[in-house]
Copies of this chain bind each other. A is one copy, B any other.
Amino acid sequence: MSTLLEQLRAGLPADAVVTDPDVLRSYAQDMAGFCEAGAAAVLVLPRTVEEVRHTMRTATELRVPVVPQGARTGLSGGATATEGCIVLSMLRMNQILEIDPVERIAVVEPGVVNATLSRAVGEHGLFYPPDPSSWEECTIGGNIGTASGGLCCVKYGVTAEYVLGLDVVLADGRLMSTGRRTVKGVAGYDLTRLLVGSEGSLGIVVRATLALRPQPPQQLVVAAEFPTMASAGEAVCRIMERGHAPSLLEIMDRTTLRAVNDMARMGLPESTEALLLAAFDSPEPAGELAAVGELCAAAGASEVLPADDPAESEMLLQARRLALVALEKVTGTTLIDDVCVPRGQLAAMLDGAQAIGEKYGLTVGSCAHAGDGNTHPIVCFDPTDEDEARRARESFDEIMALGLELGGTITGEHGVGVLKKEWLAREIGPVGLELQRGIKQVFDPLGLLNPGKLF
């Protein structure tokens, strides 16, 4: 241990090597707080690429596992500390190095907060689309690690679509560049895309070149209330089938609406089974909003409410962003599923999640990126009640099983972490798993990078 600290300190400033047990404990977990963490040996907070390289060289020499972290807003335990590990927090590497409106790229360090980048590029008339609900806190490095999505991905795609190139420190401290600064590039295997979503298990991202888009006009929202989830699901299918390109298409169920009202007194309708929000950011969205309103009515909506202005639209979106926090207040803790299903199975998935909640006697509220089929059934439970915690875990699993049965995936955007390890194996099968392990072995032969995550 003293060897580890001495060697780390030999190449790092004093304030970058933290051993205070209280601080270490505060870095032990991400938002999946119920995932059991080990006691880290040390927290390292590098400011430079060279400091990351020194940390990894030391880790390799002494065979110490390393758990990389961003803002720890992850929901699958992908950043949970393991016993005796180095927690490598990238928060201090938070510089935006370049924004180029001609090339439409930004070059950033991994600790840059998503919202900080979004605002900075906005000043140049540019747009970085991936917008996880935690966008005010989460970092670009963390977004890359988990291949994050968000609300506007239904039109603009997920993080993977926006990462052009990476600088990566490998397990042994070597520095590698992948990808490019150019729009296109197909030189060799796409290591950039392989690293996106690898949850810190293949290397430490120390710099990212990101693609940007021109900023679209502000979006306007139409809301529609439905008497059943099936009719809301029907509306989603018709909207997509007709070729509409909403910049957002979200669903909240009655449980979620009530929880948001309880917390924020937003006056959302609680008598409805599903509230659908559709937004358009085209220059003249009126026609699209009206057409979508009609499709909703035809599918059985009891009420269609176009927002009158951007402020009212923003209020509705705010309600959606609060869903998780509001449901957490119900019982103290939540398990958040992240099942993405074909759009045609959206209602079956959400109705099924509710039925599973009833079966286990638990509150399950759902919201969903409906246009993507990406559902987030949220299981509320009291972690101090052992039986309730067990039932929560079982219903969480049953929801994933239903997702696979409906032709979906166990994770649309949150990643696998420690929470869904067995489920990854179940989804991708033994051959895929063998190849994934083989790739891990190529990048990290000693198995030091974020051990125990993914598989």
Contact = CB atoms under 8 A, between A and B. Distances in A.
Contacts of A187: 409-411, 416, 420, 424, 427-428
A94 interface: no
A182 B436 contact: no
Contact of A189 (B174, B188, B436): B436
Nearest to A148: B186
A158 interface: yes
Interface in A364-389: 369, 371-374
Contacts of A441: 442
A432 B188 contact: yes
A20 interface: no
Interface stretch (A106-114, A131-139, A192-200): A192-200
A184 B340 contact: yes
Contacts of A182: 340-342, 372-374, 407-409, 412
Identical copies in the complex? 2
Interface stretch (A24-32, A63-71, A241-249): A241-249
B428 A188 contact: yes
Contacts of A215: 243
Contact of A184 (B149, B174, B435, B439): B149
A38 interface: no
Contact of A186 (B369, B412, B429): B412
Contact of A101 (B161, B241, B416): B241
Interface in A403-448: 407-416, 420, 424, 427-429, 431-433, 435-436, 438-439, 441-443
B161 A161 contact: yes
A21 interface: no
A125 B244 CA distance: 11
Contacts of A432: 176-178, 188, 191
A14 interface: no
Nearest to A175: B431
A180 interface: yes
Nearest to A428: B188
A160 B190 CA distance: 10
Interface string A70-111: 000000000000000000000000000000011110000000
A214 interface: yes
Contacts of A161: 157, 161
B237 A153 contact: no
A93 to B, nearest CB: 21
Q: Which of A243, A371, A372 has most chain B Cβ within 10 Å?
A: A243
Nearest to A147: B186
Contact of A160 (B146, B193, B414, B415): B193
A376 B126 CA distance: 28
Contact of A103 (B125, B185, B344, B442): B344
A410 B178 CA distance: 14
A149 B182 CA distance: 13
7 contacts: A153-B184, A158-B184, A160-B190, A187-B411, A187-B416, A188-B433, A190-B196
Interface of A: 101-104, 125-126, 146-147, 149, 153-154, 157-158, 160-161, 170, 174-178, 180-191, 193-194, 196-198, 202, 214-215, 237, 240-241, 243-245, 340-344, 369, 371-374, 407-416, 420, 424, 427-429, 431-433, 435-436, 438-439, 441-443, 454-455
